[in-house]
Amino acid sequence: MHPNCFIDDPPVPALFSTLEVSSDDDNSDTGCASLFIDSSHARAHKYDLISLSQPATLELADGSLVAGVTHMARVTVKFGAHVEDVLAYVTKLSGVQMILGTSWFQTHEPRVNWKDMSLSFDSEHCLITCIHDHRPCYTQSSRHHKRPLPQTPDPCRKVVRHPKAPLPIDVAFISSRVAAAAVCRDQDICITSYDEICRIAALSDKDWEDTKHLQAAGAKVLPEDYEKFRDKMERPHMSKQDILERLPKVLHPLYQGFDPKEADELPELRGDLDHKIELKPDDTGQPPKPSSQRLRPMSRDEARAVKLYVDDMMKKGHVERSTSAWAAPLLVVRKPGGGIRICVDYRGLNAHTVKNRNAPSLIRDMLAKLSKSRYFSKVDVIAAFNKIRIKEEHKHLSAFITPYGLYQYTVMPFGMCNSPGTFQAYINDVLHEYLDGFCMAYLDDVIIFSETLDQHEKHLVQVVSRLADAGLPMDILKSEFLKTEVKFLGLIITADGIKMDPEKVSATQDWKLPQSLKDVQAFLGFANFYRRFIRGFSDIAKPLTHLTRGDPKLFKMTQEAERSFHALKIAFCSDVVLAHFDPDLKSIVETDASDYVYAAVLSQVQPDGSVRPVAYLSKKMSPTECNYEIYDKELLAIVRAFEEWRPELAGVPDAVEVLTDHRGLEFFRTKRNLNRRQARWAEFLEEFDFRIQYRPGKQGTKPDSLTRRTGDLLDSVTDD
Q: What is the CATH number of the domain that holds 523?
A: 3.30.70.270
Least confident of 91-100, 382-391, 441-450, 604-613: 91-100
Residues counted in the chain: 720
Of 507, 703, 421, 706, nearest to 588 (Cα)? 703
Q: Are residues 400 and 382 in the same domain?
A: yes
Number of domains in the chain: 4
Residue 574: half-sphere exposure toward Cβ, Cα within 13 Å: 14
Phi, psi dihedrals of residue 381, rounded to the nearest 5°: -80, 135
Give the Cα separation of 613 and 625 in Å (integer).
27
* CA dihedral (635, 636, 638, 642) positive or negative: positive
Q: How many Cβ atoms from other residues are within 10 Å of residue 612's Cβ?
A: 19
488 bridge partner residues: 491
Residue 112: strand pairing partners: 119
Q: Is residue 204, in this structure, part of any structural domain at all?
A: no
Find out whether 360 and 445 touch, Cβ atoms under 8 Å.
no
Of 79-93, 387-401, 544-558, 703-717, which one has max mean pLDDT? 387-401
**Residues of 284-302 as b/e, b for ≥16 C-beta within 10 angstroms?**
eeeeeebbbbbbbbbbbbb
Average pLDDT (476-482) is 93
Spatial contact of 604 and 598, defined as CB atoms under 8 Å apart: no
Whether residue 535 sits in one domain with residue 428: no
For 600, half-sphere exposure in the C-beta direction (CA atoms, 13 angstrom radius) is: 28
SS3 239: coil
The answer to whether residue 199 sits within a structural domain is no
- Do 248 and 334 fall within a single domain? yes
* In the predicted structure, residue 504 carries a pLDDT above the cut 60: no
The answer, yes or no, to whether residue 556 has pLDDT greater than 70, is yes
The neighbour count for residue 344, using CB atoms within 10 Å, is: 23
- Give the CB-side neighbour count of residue 74, counting CA atoms within 13 A: 5
- Residue that finishes a domain, picked among 572, 603, 630: 572
Domain identity same for 437 and 555:
no
Residue type for position 26: D
Listed in sequence order, the DSSP H helices in 65-214 are: 102-108, 124-129, 154-161, 176-184, 194-202
- In the predicted model, is pLDDT for residue 446 greater than 90? yes
Rounded Cα–Cα distance for residues 49 and 71 (Å)? 6
Q: Tell me the residue range of the domain where 706 lies.
A: 587-719
Listed residue (671, 669, 611, 612) closest to 638, CA to CA: 669
pTM of the model: 0.54
Indicate whether 560 and 669 sit together in one domain: no
493 and 515 in one domain? no
Average pLDDT over all residues of the chain: 75
CATH of the domain at 362: 3.10.10.10
Residue 187 domain-assigned (yes or no): no
Distances (CA, A) of 117 to 14, 35, 147, 149, 363: 11, 22, 11, 9, 65
Q: Of 525, 546, 572, at which residue does a domain stop?
A: 572
Structural domain includes residue 134? yes
Half-sphere exposure of 64 (CA within 13 A, CB side): 7
Residue after which a domain boundary falls, among 132, 150, 176: 176
> What is the rounded distance in angstroms from the CA atom of residue 305 to the CA atom of residue 226?
6
**Is residue 484 assigned to a domain?**
yes
Do both 528 and 493 map to the same domain? no
DSSP-assigned letters across all residues of 294-326: PPPP--HHHHHHHHHHHHHHHHHTSEEE---S-
Q: Are residues 305 and 164 in the same domain?
A: no
Tell me if 123 is assigned to some domain: yes
Give me the percent of the chain exceeding a pLDDT of 70: 69
Q: What is the pLDDT of residue 413?
A: 93
Calculate what percentage of the chain has a pLDDT beyond 90: 24
Domain membership of residue 237 (yes or no) is no
From residue 222, alpha-carbon distances to 142, 335, 441, 601, 680 in Å are: 43, 11, 39, 37, 17
Q: What confidence score (pLDDT) does residue 545 get? A: 85
412 in any annotated domain: yes
Q: How far apart are CA 84 and CA 271, in angstroms?
A: 41
Rounded Cα distance, 542 and 538, in Å:
6
- Give yes or no: residues 447 and 538 share one domain: no
Q: What is the DSSP-derived secondary structure letter of residue 189?
A: -
If one counts every other C-beta atom within 10 angstroms of the C-beta of residue 242, the result is: 13
- pLDDT value at position 704? 61
Whether 113 and 255 share a structural domain? no
Q: Indicate if the pLDDT at residue 125 is higher than 90.
A: no
Which CATH number is 670's domain given?
A: 3.30.420.10
pLDDT at 138: 55
Residues 354 and 301 in one domain: yes
Domain identity same for 564 and 611 = no
